Chains A and B, each alone.
Chain A
Amino acid sequence: MATAVSRHVASARRASRVVQIVAIGLALFWSLAPLYWMLATSFKTELEAARLAPTPWPHAFTSENYRGLFTGELPFLAFFLNTLITCLATAIVAVIIATPAAYALSRARFRLRGTIAYAMLVFRMLPLVVLLAPLYLLLLHAKLLDTHTGLVVGFVTFGLPFAVWMLKSFIDAVPIEIEEAARVDGYTRYQIVRKVVVPLILPGLLTTATFVFMEAWNNLIYPLTFVTTLDKQTLPAALVLTFTGQFKTDWGGMMAAATLTTLPLMIAFFAVQRSMVRGLTSGAVAGA
């Protein structure tokens, strides 16, 4: 009797295991297939990429799409560098400005503290599309349109609240006694932040910087509006603007451009992936 039951249980367990493996397999396929497709297409000739019946892998493997990006009419390298420079600058500037604010919100008690935390959330709700016009005029007056600086200004304001929120949760995790010991040792707040807190939240700083970097890289609407010279454009906007006319069917070239646009984000993402979880969960799970 017992063996019959245990056999039943064992086969049930095996069945659920099989289901689990199949399900995970499907999930992996769903997640990775499009990326494979992008990569595969980038190595196909223009003709093969536009075939009515698509081929699962490049029958005529070619790297001319990638070469074409750098030797063709469009200044792809310029697009890439523009994006890289502005996003890096944004990440660095945002973190530098956000750290003291996050520290103050974490450690100090002042009446506006709760309001500011909510304000950060409300900020994300703003229809930035609409704010574009006044922002545009602001940059116009400051002669910052069509410049890297102007774009960075835009990116930074967009990413700042989130950076403060994320850094705050990392700073919260530093035990207050360590800072008090430093106060007893006679250090000023600024010195404490520099010498004690910052070294301890270094992974958090990197994670936040990466997040800001990624968000800026994804931003289409700011470059579209603030940058008018194509040479100074960033990748997302350039892709949209140039994908017209003769390029509309060059899917191989488009996918090559897409792959190169994706690469920096992928690298940045996986570099800080584990630390990112900590920053997100401590805030989200405990209640933003």
Chain B
Amino acid sequence: MTSGRPARPARDAERVPWIDAMVLPSAAVLAIVVGYPVVYTLVLSAQDYNLLGTTPERFVGAGNYRKLLDDTTFWLSLSNTAIYTFGSVAIAALLGLALALLTENVGGKRGRAVRALLLTPWAVPFVVVAFLFRYMYLQNGGAINALLLAGGIIDTPISWLNVSSLALPAVMVANVWTMTPFFFLLLAAALAAIPNEVIESARVDRARGASLIFSIKLPFLRNALLVSSLLMIIANFNDFAKIWAMTQGGPGYSTTTLVVYVYRQAFENFQIGYASAIGVVWLLLLLAFAVAYLRALRMT
């Protein structure tokens, strides 16, 4: 469309007053309501602070962090978080990709309808998802057991959410159910954005089916996949509603992720200092992960 003119260099880097005025409200809001709590959290993490006030707060320095190292529940929650997050995101991304590829050439009204219907799980509030799946997972009267029994896959109804080894996968299924549409949406859009000429020249080269997908289409989707995965991983760390409303972190601690553990420490045991320390570790872990991830992204 434009003539062969090189990309125009960015605007002047001048301090014009209107810029400050426009960014100020957002920056102020965030600074106060986020900056202050973050700093306060760091301070709290170095204290032994019991919210109930039975003992006065005292400075313990790295004491909370040392306690963390020996806290088996903390490590369990960490591994649960890893499994829950990475497992759910990986599965949801793959399913989303499969759906995007499946519905790629379904066009017109039918295609739009199918795509809209496939997106519905994402629009369901998390608390509702939790209760709905809780209902479906019931040992007696749950839809899932009914279906599995009818299909002859199991003999006796399973109490999904009450067996430690099954609870986390069960919760993950609900998580995948609600996350898949996000990946589906993004990847379908990225697929549609692949220039036609690329596909057509690949077909001239007799690429078909699986080879077409893997060698031609996937590279185009790589960026979208990786960025959306990162966003979802970060979001999953904060996934409180789904787990809390389904299992409250039980049975035992089998579905306790970091966020659930911190909540319990802060608002059930009132150990706000200890909870803050866990929070700091969480933040550092995520930061390290994100930095490594982004660097790997940029390198390849």
Contacts and interface: CB of A to CB of B under 8 A. Distances in A.
A65 to B, nearest CB: 13
Given A123-B34, A266-B120, A236 B275 contact: no
Contacts of A164: 26
A284 interface: yes
Interface of B is mostly: helix
Contacts of A53: 141, 146
Contacts, number: 262
B223 A287 contact: yes
A31 B120 contact: yes
B25 interface: yes
Size class of the A contact interface (CB-based, 8 Å): 35 or more
Contact of A125 (B18, B125, B244, B286): B286
B151 to A, nearest CB: 13
A240 B244 contact: yes
B281 to A, nearest CB: 9
Nearest to A28: B117
A49 B282 CA distance: 41
Nearest to A125: B286
Contacts of B131: 239, 243, 254-255, 258
Contact of B128 (A116, A130, A132, A261): A261
Given A127-B258, A130-B275, A255-B135, A100 B23 contact: yes
A277 B182 CA distance: 10
Q: Interface size bucket, B side?
A: 35 or more
27 contacts: A23-B98, A34-B132, A37-B132, A41-B135, A54-B143, A101-B25, A108-B11, A111-B13, A123-B30, A125-B290, A127-B238, A129-B238, A129-B262, A130-B266, A131-B34, A132-B266, A133-B266, A220-B126, A220-B127, A236-B125, A254-B131, A265-B123, A268-B123, A269-B123, A277-B186, A284-B227, A285-B186
Interface of B: 10-13, 15-16, 18-19, 21-23, 25-27, 29-30, 33-34, 36-38, 40-41, 44, 51, 98-99, 102-103, 106, 114, 116-128, 131-133, 135-136, 140-143, 146, 177, 181, 185-186, 189-190, 193, 209, 223-224, 227-228, 230-231, 234-235, 237-238, 240-241, 244-245, 258-259, 262-263, 266-267, 272, 275-276, 278-280, 282-283, 286-287, 290
